[in-house]
Amino acid sequence: MYGRNDLRATLATADKKPSATSFHGASYVPFADTPPHEEGPGVKTWYARGRTMVVMFSIAEPGAVFTRTGQVDEYAVCLPDPGTEVSLSLDGGEAQTMTGRAVAFVPAGDSRVEVIKGGRVLQMFTVKSADLIAKAPNAADFADEDPNIPPYQAWPDPIGGRKIRIYSGEVPNEQGRFGRIYRGSNIMVNFGDGRPGKRASTNLSPHHHDDFEQYSVALDGDYVHHLRWPWISDATQWREDEHVHLKAPHVAVIPPPSTHTSQGMDEGLNRLLDVFCPPRMDFSSKPGWVLNADEYPMPQEAAETAEA
């Protein structure tokens, strides 16, 4: 049940899925007070993975460079903070400047991210980027399959051909619209403003997803991630509730069909970036919620259903 005045309560209910018969646990990767998983000139990087996506979280100084050669599919670059600035380019060609808060979708092939003004840089890839999977310390959590998550399938290519697309995370809030949601062919990012102060225990938003993960990237403050799994007839598959308290920054990979809610605990700002891979159909089906829907089409069958 979503909390009071939570716009997600207006989402369409998905078609009834077959009941789950087994469950997988959540996966948590703390970055706070943890040595970087990788370190290079002017940059410290941590990794976390899920079934479908790898999160690469870096603290970078001016002049730091990230390159992808022969990248197999589109990926996302996110600057969560104002003042951070990077230069994005394809194939060594003309560069575009991106200033936080913002997200960019970068197409397959050769690309380069150069830091102009330092700060936090998030890069998110599908698990087709095999070179990144082994760098995540939680890789063993995904050694076996989860029958509740279907095989990964990308959404359609963007309209207008191969180019870098940059979108602002500073679009003003609008009544009736949830967050600032952008989608690419593989990844959906929801920019929120966070909440100041501890979130009241009387106004949480427990909910579940039938068949996709939620990647909660905690940027500021600290959180308790509350999770509960269904009871089924096979009691050997029951799991204990979880109430995992972690400082930001960290990543929580929340599996279906666990009921979950995240509670900010810090007296200052508590802020999450919610990411999904592939994009969420329910968010995409809400008119006006996905701010770049004109460039990234929905799968054809879904688009026809939404228009009906």
pLDDT band at 37 (very low <50, low <70, confident <90, very high): very high
Q: What is the pTM of this model?
A: 0.92
pLDDT value at residue 30:
98
Question: Looking at the predicted structure, is the pLDDT value of residue 16 above 70?
Answer: no
pLDDT bin (cut points 50, 70, 90) of residue 21 is confident
Pairwise CA distance, residues 67 & 89, whole Å: 10
- How many whole angstroms separate alpha carbon 170 and alpha carbon 257? 32
Q: Are 220 and 273 in contact (CB under 8 A)?
A: no
pLDDT level of residue 214 (50, 70, 90 thresholds):
very high
- Listing DSSP states for 94-116 in one string gives -EEEEESSEEEEE-SEEEEEEEE
Q: What is the pLDDT of residue 306?
A: 52
Q: What is the average per-residue pLDDT within 117-125?
A: 98
Q: What is the rounded average pLDDT of the residues 201-221?
A: 97
Tell me what pLDDT residue 161 has: 92
CATH number for the domain formed by residue range(s) 25-289: 2.60.120.10
At 178, is the pLDDT very low, low, confident or very high (cuts 50, 70, 90)? Answer: very high
For the ranges 119-128, 178-187, 245-254, 294-303, the lowest mean pLDDT is seen at 294-303
| Mean predicted lDDT score pLDDT of the chain | 93
CA distance 51 to 152: 9
Residue 300: band (very low, low, confident or very high) from pLDDT cuts 50, 70, 90: confident
Spatial separation of the C-alpha atoms in residues 43 and 187, rounded to whole Å: 24
- Burial label for 303, CB within 10 Å (0-12, 13-18, 19+), is middle
**Least reliable range by pLDDT among 9-13, 40-44, 220-224, 237-241:** 9-13
What sign does the dihedral 203-204-205-206 (CA atoms) show? negative
Tens digit of each residue's pLDDT (9 = 90 or more) over 58-102 = 999 999 999 999 999 999 999 999 999 999 999 989 999 999 999
CA 123 to mean position of chain CA atoms: 10
**What single-letter amino acid sits at 253?**
V
